Amino acid sequence: MCVNEESNGTAPAVQRPPPATPYHTVQDYISNVNSYKIIESTLREGEQFANSFFDTETKIRIAKALDSFGVDYIELTNPCSSEQSFQDCKAISSLGLKAKILTHVRCHMGDAKRAVEAGVDGVDLVIGTSSYLREYSHGKSMEMIQKTALEVISYLQSQNVEIRFSSEDSFRSDLVDILSLYKTVDRAGVHRVGIADTVGGATPRMTYDVVRTLRGVVSCDIECHFHDDTGCSVAGATHVDTSVLGIGERNGITPLGAFMARMVVTAPEYTKSKYNLKELKALETLVADAVEINIPFNNPVTGFCAFTHKAGIHAKAILANPSTYEILDPEIFGLSRYVSINSRITGWNAVRSRAEQLGLSMTDSQVKEVTAKIKQMADIRPLAIDDTDSILRSFHLELQQ
Amino acid sequence: MCVNEESNGTAPAVQRPPPATPYHTVQDYISNVNSYKIIESTLREGEQFANSFFDTETKIRIAKALDSFGVDYIELTNPCSSEQSFQDCKAISSLGLKAKILTHVRCHMGDAKRAVEAGVDGVDLVIGTSSYLREYSHGKSMEMIQKTALEVISYLQSQNVEIRFSSEDSFRSDLVDILSLYKTVDRAGVHRVGIADTVGGATPRMTYDVVRTLRGVVSCDIECHFHDDTGCSVAGATHVDTSVLGIGERNGITPLGAFMARMVVTAPEYTKSKYNLKELKALETLVADAVEINIPFNNPVTGFCAFTHKAGIHAKAILANPSTYEILDPEIFGLSRYVSINSRITGWNAVRSRAEQLGLSMTDSQVKEVTAKIKQMADIRPLAIDDTDSILRSFHLELQQ
C-alpha cells in the first residue's frame, strides 16, 4: 500500500524543547566570529568583474548604500589605474562616511604616495608571493619583497593611515616564506595581514589550517580574501573581503549576501545588531542594475527560490513551525516565505493551509480528496497558483451543491 | 610618482619550478577523495525546485544526459508522489543505463514496496531525526524510528536492492541518537548511511567533525547531502548528492558543476578520467531550459565570467602562464578564456597581446602610449571590444603615416 499523505505516528510529540541555537557548535580558541569586520570590495574587486563600468555618480551611490548597510570598510580601485580612478577615490574619501575608506594598491612607493594623496583612511598593500607570480608577474625575490615592504610601510606610518599587508596567491606560496614575511611586517607595525586565495582553489580546511598557523605568528588582525572558482568562497573567517553579489575578477569573491546568511546563523546577535539586513535586497538590486546582470535564481537570501517550499513533507512541517526546514528567517531580511502547492509533490497539509487562506472550509478527508485531484492535474501539465485555486474553489462549490 | 605599468623587478626570475599540484594538501586518514561517487538528484531534489515541471520525455532526456556525463547514481522522486511519478520511475529504471537508478522514499513499508515495484536498483530511505521534525512532522520516538527502519531494511534486503539509510536534518539531531541509529542499521547490513544538512546551516568544519565521528562508528559507505541556504553547499566529502545547477527545495543543494570544479582541483586524475567534463555545459543548458531559468552569471565553470580576466596585473601574468590566475583550465571543460582590455584597469601587456592578435606591430613604448589612450577613453564610457580594436587600429595607422 502506498502512503500518499504524510504519516501520523501514534507516539506523543517529543516534549524536550528545541535548543535555542539550532546548530550545536563548539567554538575553538581561535574563533572570533562575534566580532568580525567586513571589508567591502564591490568598488575594487567588483570593478574587475567582466561587466563593470561604474561612473562617479554610481560609485558614490554604491558607497553610500554600503555605508548605510553598515559595512566596516569600503575598498576602492587603485588610484593609479586611471585619472578618473584617482578622482573617484578622492571624492569618496571626502564624503564623510562612517565606513573607513581603503584603497588596494601594489606594494610600490609610487602607488602608496598616490593613495595618500587621494585622502583614504587606509591602504591595502598587496604583493604576489607564489612562485608562479614571482616568475611570471613581477620577478622579485623574497628579499626584495621584504625590503620594499618595509620602506612602503614606514612611509605610510609617517602619513598616519591604516595599513594592511597581504600576499597574493597565498595558498600557492611557500608557507615558511610568507610566515617569515608576515612576522616581519607585523613587527614593523601593520594593522592587518591578509591571506588571499587569489585563484580560488583553497578548501575550507586549508584555510582553517593556514589561519590557525598564522594566528600563532602575528599579533595583528587577519584578513581573508576568497575567490569563488570552485564554489568555496564562504568559509568562516574573521576580517572578510566581500563584494555585492560576489562580483569580481573571473567568478568573483565571497558575496556579501551569502556571508550575511552564514553569519546570521553563526553569530546572530552581533550580525543582526550591526548590519541593516533589510537593506540587502535594495543594495543587490542597485549593483545588479549598475553592472547589468540578473540576480541568480539561487542567490542566497534574495534569489527567487530561497524561501519557497514545495515538497508536501516539507510544507506540512513549515506550516507547523518554520524552523523545521528554514535555517534563516526571511523576516530578518524583510522578506517572506512562500509555500507552493502547484505540483504533484505537494501534500494535503499544504493544500489545507491554502484552502484556509481562501476561506474554503473542508474536512480533512475532503482536503485529501482535492489534493489527489491537484496531483492528478499536476501530472499532466505545469500548474500556476490560480490553477490550483480554481480547482480548490470548484471542488468547494461542488461540496456545497 | 605613479607606476602605471606593471613593475619590472631587477632580480632574475625565480628558478624553482612550480609544484606539480598547485595546492599543497596533507591528506588525512579518513580522506577518500580519489574514489568519491556522485548521487545525482536533479530528478528528485531538482523536482522540488520552485520552477520545475519535468514531463516524462524531459526526465528521460535528463537521465540519459546524466548517464552519458558519467554520474554513478541517478536519484528519482518517490513513486508514491503521484501516479505519473511511479510510471516515470518505472520507465527510467528500464532504460538500461550504466548509472544505478535510485528512488528517495520515506522510511515506510508502503513507500519501500512501491519503490521495488517500480524496478529501481536501490532505495534511499530517509527519516527526520531532529527534535523539530519529530515534534512538527511525523511525531515518532527514536525507538519507533529504529523499529520501523529494521523492518523496512529487512524487506528491501529480501528484494535484493541497494539500501541507503539517512536521517533528515542530521546536524540538528541529537548526536548520540543518530550515531546509535546508524550503528544499528549498519549492523543490519545497509550499503550506505547518509548525513543530510536539510536546512543548509552546517559549516564545513561541522561536517568534517560529524563525518569523522561517524567513520569510527559504521563500516558502510557515507553519503552527504548539503543544502545551500548559507552558501556552504560544497564541502569535501565522499558520496555526495548533487543536482544540475544545484536546483532543489528552496536554494537547492551542491551543484554538479561546482562539485566538479572542486574535485578537478582536489582529485584531478580520477575526476577527469571518470566524468565527461566537456558535456557539463550542454547538460546545464538542458536543465536550465527545462526549468526556465538563466544560468547565473557567476556559475562555476560555465558562468559567462568564469574565465574572463580584466585587471592589467592579472592579464599580464595570464598571458605569460595561465596557471598564475587560474586554478581551473577551461580546456578541461571544452571552454576557453578571455582577456578583456576594454577598461581603465587594463594594462599594457594585455593591450600588446591584443595588438599582436590583430597583426599590428608596435614597440613597447608605443603600446604604453595607446594603453594610456584606452584608459582615458574607458574613464569616459564603457568600451566594447570593437571600440578598443578601433583605437588600436587608428593609433597604428597614425604611426604609419
SS3 state at B217:
coil
Interchain proximity A205–B204, CB inside 8 Å? yes
What residues of A are labeled active site?
314
**Residue type for A70, please?**
G
Q: Which grid coordinates belong to B41? A: 538528484
pLDDT band at B228 (very low <50, low <70, confident <90, very high): confident
Nearest-CA distance A146 → chain B (Å):
13
**Best interface-test mutation with A: which of B113, B324, B326 has the largest number of A CBs within 10 A?**
B324
Interchain proximity B172–A22, CB inside 8 Å? yes
Comparing B36 with A283, the larger pLDDT belongs to A283
Nearest-CA distance A250 → chain B (Å):
5
Chain B residue numbers touching A172 (CB-CB < 8 A): 18-19, 22-23
Nearest-CA distance A344 → chain B (Å):
6
CB atoms within 10 A of CB B1: 10
Query: How many whole angstroms separate alpha carbon A362 and alpha carbon A339?
Result: 19
What residues of B are labeled active site?
314
- pLDDT the model gives residue B382: 79
Burial label, A289 (beta-carbon count in 10 A; 0-12, 13-18, 19+): exposed
Q: Which grid coordinates belong to B39? A: 548521487
Chain A residue numbers touching B111 (CB-CB < 8 A): 2-3
Q: Cα separations (Å) of A183 from A96, A164, A186, B138?
A: 34, 13, 5, 56
How many CA atoms within 13 Å lie on the side-chain side of A352? 19
Nearest-CA distance A6 → chain B (Å):
8
Interchain proximity B82–A114, CB inside 8 Å? no
Question: What ipTM is given for this predicted complex?
Answer: 0.73
State the DSSP string of B350-376.
HHHHHHHHTT----HHHHHHHHHHHHH
Q: Which grid coordinates belong to B79? A: 513513486
- Residues of B numbered 189-208 whose beta carbons fall under 8 angstroms of chain A's beta carbons: which are they? 198-206, 208
- pLDDT the model gives residue B119: 97
- pLDDT the model gives residue B61: 96
The set of residues, in sequence order, having a beta carbon less than 8 Å from that of B12 and lying 6+ positions away, is A139
Nearest to B86 by CA among B119, B57, B58: B119
- pLDDT the model gives residue A27: 53
- pLDDT the model gives residue A274: 93
- pLDDT the model gives residue A237: 54
SS3 state at A260:
helix
Nearest to B111 by CA among A191, A4, A281, A94: A4
Q: Is B28 left (phi over 0), alpha (psi -120 to 50) or beta?
A: beta
CB-based contact, A218 to chain B, within 8 Å: no
- pLDDT the model gives residue B244: 93
- pLDDT the model gives residue B23: 55
To the nearest whole number, what is the mean pLDDT of chain A? 85
Q: Where are the alpha helices (DSSP H) in A275-384?
A: 280-291, 312-320, 348-357, 364-380
- pLDDT the model gives residue B31: 61
Instruction: Kindly tell me if the per-residue pLDDT of B12 is higher than 70.
Output: no
- pLDDT the model gives residue A148: 95
Interchain proximity A296–B300, CB inside 8 Å? no
Q: Which of A82-91, B13-22, B256-265, B292-301 has the lowest mean pLDDT?
A: B13-22
To the nearest whole number, what is the mean pLDDT of chain B? 85
**Residue type for B220, please?**
C
The set of residues, in sequence order, having a beta carbon less than 8 Å from that of A15 and lying 6+ positions away, is none
Interchain proximity A228–B298, CB inside 8 Å? yes
* Reported pTM: 0.79
Over range B268-275, report the average pLDDT. Answer: 92
- pLDDT the model gives residue A23: 55
Q: Where are the alpha helices (DSSP H) in B159-255?
A: 175-188, 204-215
Could you tell me how far CA B65 lies from the centroid of its own chain? Answer: 16
How many CA atoms within 13 Å lie on the side-chain side of B98? 10
Query: How many whole angstroms separate alpha carbon B316 and alpha carbon B318?
Result: 6
Stretch (H or E) spanning A100: strand A100-106
- Angle A377-A380-A384 from CA coordinates, rounded to 5°: 60
Query: How many whole angstroms separate alpha carbon A295 and alpha carbon B345?
Result: 25
Interchain proximity A201–B136, CB inside 8 Å? no
SS3 state at A331:
helix
**Best interface-test mutation with B: which of A117, A327, A374, A377 has the largest number of B CBs within 10 A?**
A327
Query: How many whole angstroms separate alpha carbon A282 and alpha carbon A269?
Result: 22
Query: How many whole angstroms separate alpha carbon A296 and alpha carbon B295?
Result: 8
Query: How many whole angstroms separate alpha carbon A155 and alpha carbon A174?
Result: 27
Nearest-by-CA chain B residue for A260 = B230
Q: Which of B53, B208, B344 comes nearest A81 by C-beta?
A: B344
**Best interface-test mutation with A: which of B33, B135, B293 has the largest number of A CBs within 10 A?**
B135
Instruction: Kindly tell me if the per-residue pLDDT of B245 is higher than 90.
Output: yes
Highest mean pLDDT among A183-187, B318-322, B335-339: A183-187
How many CA atoms within 13 Å lie on the side-chain side of B255? 31
- In this structure, the strands spanning A122-128 and A100-106 are parallel
Query: How many whole angstroms separate alpha carbon B252 and alpha carbon B312?
Result: 36
Q: Is the dihedral of CA A210, B314, B329, B304 positive or negative?
A: positive
Chain B residue numbers touching A82 (CB-CB < 8 A): 344-345, 375-376, 378-379
Q: Which of B134, B231, B259 comes nearest A258 by C-beta?
A: B231
- Stretches in chain A below the pLDDT threshold 70: 1-32, 230-238
CB-based contact, A381 to chain B, within 8 Å: yes
- pLDDT the model gives residue A110: 96
Q: Which of A24, A250, A298 comes nearest B305 by C-beta?
A: A250
Nearest-CA distance B262 → chain A (Å):
5
- Angle B292-B297-B303 from CA coordinates, rounded to 5°: 95
**Best interface-test mutation with B: which of A47, A52, A55, A82 has the largest number of B CBs within 10 A?**
A82
Chain B residue numbers touching A328 (CB-CB < 8 A): 229-230
CB-based contact, A179 to chain B, within 8 Å: no
Instruction: Kindly tell me if the per-residue pLDDT of B243 is higher than 80.
Output: yes
Could you tell me how far CA B191 lies from the centroid of its own chain? Answer: 24
Query: How many whole angstroms separate alpha carbon A332 and alpha carbon A130?
Result: 42
CB-based contact, A379 to chain B, within 8 Å: yes
CB-based contact, B233 to chain A, within 8 Å: yes
The answer to whether A236 and A271 are in contact (CB under 8 A) is no
How many CA atoms within 13 Å lie on the side-chain side of A299? 27
SS3 state at B126:
strand
- Residue-wise pLDDT for B184-213, tens only, equals 999 999 999 999 988 887 877 788 888 888
Q: Which of B8, B325, B340 comes nearest A199 by C-beta?
A: B325
Interchain proximity A234–B231, CB inside 8 Å? yes
The answer to whether A349 and A325 are in contact (CB under 8 A) is no
Interchain proximity A309–B249, CB inside 8 Å? yes
- pLDDT the model gives residue A12: 42
- pLDDT the model gives residue A13: 43
- pLDDT the model gives residue A236: 44
CB-based contact, B385 to chain A, within 8 Å: no
The answer to whether B319 and B353 are in contact (CB under 8 A) is yes
Q: Give me the percent of chain B exceeding a pLDDT of 70.
A: 90
- pLDDT the model gives residue B230: 64
- Residue-wise pLDDT for B52-82, tens only, equals 889 999 999 999 999 999 999 999 999 999 9
Interchain proximity A325–B249, CB inside 8 Å? yes
Interchain proximity B201–A376, CB inside 8 Å? no
- Residues of B numbered 316-345 whose beta carbons fall under 8 angstroms of chain A's beta carbons: which are they? 316-317, 320-321, 323-328, 340, 343-345
Backbone φ, ψ for residue B37 (5° rounding): -125, 150
